[in-house]
Every structure is written in C-alpha cells, then in structure tokens.
C-alpha cells in the first residue's frame, strides 16, 4: 500500500518580491516499509520534500496523499493532528528537550498522542529505549549523553508512537562516521523489524549506501529514482 | 497537562540566573508594595484612632441642627437634659462611658500674645473612660472637677511660652460675629501632648462646671460623647441609642466618628487613589521582567518550539508551556513577596517607622497623622492581594511571549541557529 504520494508538486518560496522555486513538479509515491533516501546537493529541494511529507509545509501546486488520503488542503491544526499520530521526526541536531530525561523525551510523543496510561507508557518507552541500546541511560538528560546516544533517543522518540512514516533530515550529519553508521544500522534494523517506513534526506554517501531506494533531486526536479542493492 | 506543567517547571530552572533576576524583581517589588500598603493602612488606622481617642469618641449625641453647624462651634444647639440621657443609657452594656461636654470658641491670652483655640469643657471624672487625654499629660496633672484650672495642648503651650503653674486668660466667645465674650483667669494644671497634633495645637481643656457657669449654660451641654466597648458594634449601639432618645420630647441626633471624620475619610480616599500608583508601578516592573524573560526564552528555544510543533503539539499546548512557565516565576516571586511583605509589615506593626529625626515641627505639617511613629497594619488581605496580583500579572505578561512562540513557523524555527 502506498504510504505517501506526491503528485506534480511545485513549491515556490517568496522572499520579498523574489520567487525561489524549490520544487518544480515532482511526483513519486512511497510504499509501506520502504527505506528511502532523498539525496541531492544543497538547494536541490530535499528538505522541502521532507517538510511537505511531514505536513509541516504546503505545496504551491500539486497534491499530497498520506495513506491514500489527500492532505493537501487540510488546515494547520488538522496537519498537527496528522503529525502527532502518523509521523515521526529525526533531526540532524537531535533536538531533544534538554530538561527532560531520555525516558521523558521518548514518552512525550505518546502523551501528545493521548496515551494516558502511565504504566503502559513507561513499558513501551523502556522497551524501545532498550531496543536502541539505551537501557542504562533511561534517566539521563541529553547533556549527559554523547551525540550518538542522543540520536538513538531521537530515533526511539520517532518510533515510539508506531508512526506510519519516519522522516529523518540528515540524521548523521552531526555524528562521526562510526556513530553515523551505527545509527543507520539501527534505523535499518528497526525498519526491517517493524516495517516502519523511513525517508531521509542526505548528501552523505554512506547514508545513500544504506538506502533501499534512492531518489536524487537536482534543481527541484527528480534526477533519478532507483532501487538500491542491499549492502 | 501534567507533562506540560512538568516541562514548564523544569524550564523555570533552565536559565537560573535570568529566573533569579526576574524572581527578585517581582519579590522585592511586590514585597515593598505590600510593606507600603501595610504602612498606609497603619497610618490610616492610627490617624482614625487619634480622631476617636482625642476628638470625636465613637458616637456623639447632639441637639438636632448642631452637626450641620459644627464647624462654627455653636452654643445655641444644646443637649438640655444630659443627666436624664445618661440615665436612659446607663444599662447599655456596650457603652463604656458617656461624657457631657461643651465645645466653644475661645482664645488664650498670655501677656501680649493671644492665640485662637478650641475650648473643650470636660467632666474630669468621666473623661478617661471616653478619651485618652489623661494618658497624654506630659507635664503637671489632669483636671479635678470644679477647679479653676486648665490643660493646654503642648503646641499651644509651646507657641505661647506657657508652662504648668503659669496663669493665663481664657477669652470665651458667646458669639464671634457679635464679639460677645467672657474672660477667665486660670492657672495651667497640665500640658497634654496627645498623638493628635490638631488637638495639641488648638485645644484647651477646662472643667465642665466652670465652662457652664462662664457661658451661662446651667446644666446644658453641646454634646454627649460616647465610647463603646467594641467598634464593630457601632451600628447596633447607635440604633439602640436612637431608639431610647426617641422617647424624649426634644429631637436629638446621634453622629458617629465616621461622619465627623468625613473630610478625613475623603482625604484618605483621594490618597488611596494616589496610592494605587504604587501597585501600578510594581505591575509594570513585574510585567517587564516576565515579558523580557519569556521573550528571551522563546528566542533561545526557537528550534525546540519548531520541534514541538513538528511532533504535533498544538499551538494551545505550546502557549500553555510558556504561560505556565511565566506563571510559576510569578507565583514563586509573589510567595517571596508575601514573606517580605509579612516580615516588613510585622516589623512596622511591632516597631513602627519613626519620623523623630525630622524634628517635632513635622507634626505641624502632617496635622492628622500620628505624632512621630508611623505604625503598620498588616492584614491577611494585603498579603492575599500581593499573591493574587503577582500571579495574575505573571500569567497575563506571559501571554505575549507565548503568542510569539506559537506564531513561529515550524520550518523556520527548526532551521533557527541559536
């Protein structure tokens, strides 16, 4: 089943009186369980695609479907609901809440989603943190963890609510290559284990190598869209 | 909601230095405001007590028409049967004492000097039950019934250079307009320095019988001053007195100290408006503190706000985090302000704020005010007002930064480099 579909998407940014076309009519669909990388040089439009898929932005033209449902015209509040329930984010700079522990950071999306039973919440949170290898770091705050550990918390946070789609914007850019590879390996394992769909933007060769499908963008257009052999 | 509160609570301690500065501004500002209110309340209470203790007592029985002309101190409106009225009211347990008095216009002459004054004829044996003049004698002694002596207010004595044992002439006016007067040569028995500067500067006390004889009043008086046991029962006692007086042939009116001090009350009311400027200034300080702190927080946490929005947090929830945060600083600050206000108010109640260093002349300027020491009046209401004010201001002041936070575009916010 198609998890997400972009149809002839155009996106134009206006800065003052100047127009910047970021996307110029791109179309593709993402199937459930895919491990997809969107690659391209700076300014190619990869982050814009991620923002549109993540319901953070609206296209200037074209349609976006999430699980066959047209979400293009949904109001901002409804888009927030879609994000809350269906989309997990992993950021380049981890973006954990510094005043919360690893446990609390991961628990947060569950609370937002309306999981009110604290016991169940703690069980699920602990389970996923154990899965990402942070069983002994449950009560540490972000500043008490390494970059790799923080990104693992971010991965757990993105996955804990069992979203349809996980969007990762250059998830390894702030990590050294060894840690970056560990994180990619972790995401790949979780993708295979849970069939969660992962889409990440990158210009890192290593990340592209991990992807099972690679869409290359250039100047707001799809340059290539190909399946990649398993590493 | 619990999570939002937890987040807000921890964020309060995230930028400790800034929180401490805002907290201090609120606690000191509102704390000083509370102390100021205590002082003002204390001065008002004390000043009102001074009026009661030295001038008006709690209630006065007057001949009908007297009150309207009271500023002229008229002698034609008299209470003709004071003893009968006293007998009528003697079984009233709420009344501590009733004194027959005559108020008259006079001037006091010492050698070449003559100063206008208010003559107050008192019953020396009853007066201490109703007024506190006896306790205010700083030199000499209090009056004995029927003696030909007087007590002078300390200011009057100072201005005329008179002391205990000196002789002086009291010119008693029947009518100022017609310049009809009688003169008495009297010896000064004592000097009174009350806590009411007006009395000290203007009043001469003489025994009632002497004044009645000099003014040809026979047994008549111009007023009966009544002290009651409990000021809270004023209305009840007044009603009961009025009911008793209704049985008499002549019309009398019962007037409370509040009516007598209506000018002073008006002054207090006007001053309380001015006084409202103090909370307004404190509101400004607290508002600026909170707005500044929270705006800085919004600026520094821009990317975090973008992340929260990306996770699907609703605008209302983001707003609540910032409002809770501001409110918490405000509540902590207000609690500290209550402690500062409570301690300051307690100290003012116990010790008072002395103006002695300004010299005695200061009381000539602030005529209604207590003598030299300004005592506070700490009430739970003042502290509650401080607490509520601080909390409400903080919540309101947090709205603008919170609004700024939710107006951020999540994409721009996520890109923000802090």
In this predicted structure, what is the pLDDT of residue A231? Answer: 52
For strand B203-207 and strand A213-218, is the pairing parallel, antiparallel, or unpaired? unpaired
pLDDT, one tens digit per residue, over B80-139 is: 989 999 998 988 999 999 999 999 999 999 888 899 999 999 999 999 999 999 999 999
Closest Cβ–Cβ partner in B3, B7, B310 for A56: B310
Rounded CA separation B84/A95 (Å): 91
For residue A111, what is the nearest residue in chain B, using CA coordinates? Answer: B3
Residue B365, pLDDT score: 53
A56 to B14: CB separation less than 8 angstroms, yes or no: no
Dig out the tokens for A183 from the structure.
């994180």
A176 phi, psi to nearest 5 deg: -70, 165
- CA quadruple B115, B119, B123, B125: dihedral positive or negative? negative
Q: Which residue of A has its CA nearest to B8?
A: A99
Contact assignment for B315 to A84 by CB distance below 8 Å:
no
Smallest Cα distance from B394 to chain A, Å: 22
**What pLDDT score does A62 carry?**
92
pLDDT at position B123? 94
What stretches of B90-233 show up as alpha helix (H) in DSSP?
127-130, 154-160, 197-202, 208-214
Among B13, B325, B414, most A C-beta atoms within 10 A, so best to mutate, is B414
How far, in Å, CA of B96 to CA of B320, rounded? 59
DSSP per-residue string spanning B30-69: HHHHHHHHHHHHHHHHHHHHHHIIIII-SEEEEETTTGGG
At B398, which helix (H) or strand (E)? helix B380-407
pLDDT at position B52 is: 92
End-to-end CA distance of chain B: 28
ipTM of the complex: 0.84
Give the minimum alpha-carbon distance from B276 to chain A in angstroms, rounded to a whole number. Answer: 40
- Read off the tokens for B40: 């003002």
**Which of chain B's residues have a Cβ under 8 Å away from the Cβ of A57?**
411
Judged by CB atoms closer than 8 Å, whether chains meet at A100 and B7 is answered as: yes
Kindly determine whether residue A100 and residue B10, on different chains, have CB atoms separated by under 8 Å: yes
Compare CB distances from B314 to A57, A77, A104 and report the shortest one's residue: A77
Please tell me which residue of chain B has the smallest CA distance to A54. B310
Output B242-245 pairs: Cβ under 8 A, ≥24 positions apart: B244/B88, B244/B89, B245/B61, B245/B85, B245/B88
Q: Check if A77 contacts B (Cβ < 8 Å).
A: yes
Dihedral angle computed from the Cα positions of residues B261, B265, B267 and B268, in that order, rounded to the nearest 10 degrees: 140
Q: How far is A81 from chain B (nearest CA, A)?
A: 6
Q: What is the mean pLDDT of residues A78-105?
A: 88
Helices in A160-214 by DSSP H: which ranges? 177-194, 205-210
φ/ψ (deg, to 5) at A214: -130, 120
Alpha-carbon gap, residue B48 to B37, rounded angstroms: 16
Residues sharing a CB contact under 8 Å with residue B108, sequence separation 6 or more, in sequence order = B114, B115, B117, B152, B156, B160, B168, B169, B170, B171, B204
pLDDT tens, residue by residue, A3-56: 899 999 999 988 888 888 889 999 999 998 898 999 988 888 888 898 899 888
The pLDDT assigned to B372 comes to: 58
Task: Sort residue A161 into left (φ over 0), alpha (ψ -120 to 50) or beta.
Answer: alpha
d(CA A31, CA A73): 22
Name the nearest CA neighbour of A53 among A1, A88, A92, A15: A88
Cα–Cα distance measured from residue A49 to residue B187, given in angstroms and rounded to the nearest whole number? 106
| Integer Cα distance of A129 and A152 in angstroms | 8
Angle between helices B277-300 and B302-310 (to 10 degrees): 70
Contact A87, A164 (CB under 8 A): yes
- The answer to whether the beta carbons of residues B218 and B20 sit under 8 Å apart is no
Q: What totals of helices (H) and strands (E) does chain A contain, helices first?
A: 7, 10
| CA–CA distance, B4 with A171 (Å, rounded to integer) | 27
Which residues of chain B fall below pLDDT 50? Answer: 368, 370
- Hey, are the CB atoms on A111 and B313 less than 8 Å from each other? no
Buried b (16+ CB within 10 A) or exposed e, B229-249: eeeeebeebbebbeebbeeee
Q: Determine the straight-line distance between the first and last CA of chain A, rounded to whole angstroms.
A: 25
Q: Does B314 sit within 8 Å of A80, measured CB to CB?
A: yes
Residue A229 confidence (pLDDT):
67
Tell me which residue of B134, B139, B156 sits closest to B201, measured CA to CA. B156
The model's confidence at residue A170, banded by pLDDT at 50, 70 and 90, is confident
> Parallel, antiparallel, or unpaired: how do β-strands A165-169 and A87-90 relate?
parallel
How far from B199 is each of B156, B169, B346, B363, CA to CA, in Å? 9, 19, 29, 11
CB pairs under 8 A between A and B: 60
A109 part of contact set with chain B, CB < 8 Å: yes
pLDDT (0 to 100) of residue B168 = 92
């Amino acid at each position: 089943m198609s998890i997400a579909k972009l149809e002839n998407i155009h996106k134009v940014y206006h800065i003052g009186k100047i127009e910047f076309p970021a996307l110029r009519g791109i179309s593709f669909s993402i199937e459930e369980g895919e491990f997809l990388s969107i690659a391209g040089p700076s300014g190619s439009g990869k982050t814009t695609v991620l923002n549109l898929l993540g319901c953070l932005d609206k296209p200037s033209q074209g349609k976006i479907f999430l699980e066959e449902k047209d979400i293009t015209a949904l109001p901002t509040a409804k888009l927030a609901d879609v994000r809350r329930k269906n989309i997990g984010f992993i950021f380049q700079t981890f973006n954990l809440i510094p005043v919360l522990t690893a446990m609390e950071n991961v628990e947060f999306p569950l609370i937002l989603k309306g999981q009110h039973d604290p016991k169940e919440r703690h069980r699920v949170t602990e389970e996923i943190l154990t899965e990402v290898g942070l069983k002994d770091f449950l009560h540490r705050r972000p500043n008490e963890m390494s970059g790799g550990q923080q990104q693992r918390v971010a991965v757990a946070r993105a996955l804990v609510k069992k979203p349809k789609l996980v969007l990762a914007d250059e998830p390894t850019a702030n990590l050294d290559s060894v840690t970056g590879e560990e994180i990619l390996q972790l995401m790949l394992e979780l993708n295979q284990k849970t069939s969660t769909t992962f889409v990440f933007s990158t210009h890192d060769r290593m990340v592209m190598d991990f992807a099972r499908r690679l869409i290359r963008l250039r100047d707001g257009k799809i340059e290539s869209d190909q399946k990649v052999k398993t590493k | 909601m619990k999570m939002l509160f937890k987040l807000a609570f921890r964020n309060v301690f995230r930028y400790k230095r800034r929180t401490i500065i805002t907290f201090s501004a609120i606690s000191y500002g509102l704390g000083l405001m509370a102390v100021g209110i205590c002082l003002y309340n204390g001065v008002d209470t004390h000043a009102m007590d001074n009026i009661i203790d030295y001038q008006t007592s709690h209630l006065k029985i007057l001949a009908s028409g007297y009150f309207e002309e009271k500023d002229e101190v008229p002698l034609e409106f008299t209470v003709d049967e004071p003893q009968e009225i006293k007998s009528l009211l003697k079984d009233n347990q709420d009344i501590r004492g009733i004194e027959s008095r005559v108020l008259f216009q006079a001037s006091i002459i010492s050698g070449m000097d003559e100063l206008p004054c208010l003559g107050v004829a008192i019953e020396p044996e009853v007066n201490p039950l109703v007024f506190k003049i006896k306790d205010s004698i700083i030199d000499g002694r209090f009056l004995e019934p029927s003696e030909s002596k007087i007590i002078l207010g300390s200011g009057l004595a100072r201005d005329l250079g008179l002391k205990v044992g000196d002789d002086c002439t009291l010119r008693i006016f029947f009518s100022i307009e017609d310049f009809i007067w009688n003169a008495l040569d009297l010896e000064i028995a004592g000097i009174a320095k009350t806590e009411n500067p007006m009395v000290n500067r203007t009043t001469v006390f003489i025994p009632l019988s002497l004044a009645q004889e000099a003014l040809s009043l026979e047994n008549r008086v111009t007023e009966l001053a009544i002290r009651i046991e409990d000021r809270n029962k004023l209305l009840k006692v007044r009603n009961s007195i009025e009911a008793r007086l209704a049985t008499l042939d002549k019309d009398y009116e019962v007037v409370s100290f509040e009516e007598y001090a209506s000018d002073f009350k008006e002054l207090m009311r006007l001053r309380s408006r001015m006084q409202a400027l103090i909370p307004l200034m404190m509101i400004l300080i607290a508002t600026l503190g909170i707005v500044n702190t929270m705006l800085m927080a919004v600026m520094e946490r821009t990317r975090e706000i973008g992340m929260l929005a990306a996770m699907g947090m609703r605008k209302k929830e983001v707003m609540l985090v910032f409002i809770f945060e501001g409110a918490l600083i405000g509540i902590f600050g207000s609690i500290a302000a209550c402690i500062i206000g409570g301690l300051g108010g307690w100290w003012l109640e116990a010790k008072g704020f002395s103006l002695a260093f300004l010299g005695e002349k200061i009381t000539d300027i602030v005529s209604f005010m207590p003598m030299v020491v300004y005592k506070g009046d700490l009430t739970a209401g003042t502290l509650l007002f401080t607490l509520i004010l601080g909390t409400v201001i903080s919540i309101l002041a947090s709205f603008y930064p919170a609004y700024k936070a939710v107006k951020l575009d999540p994409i721009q916010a996520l890109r923000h480099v802090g």
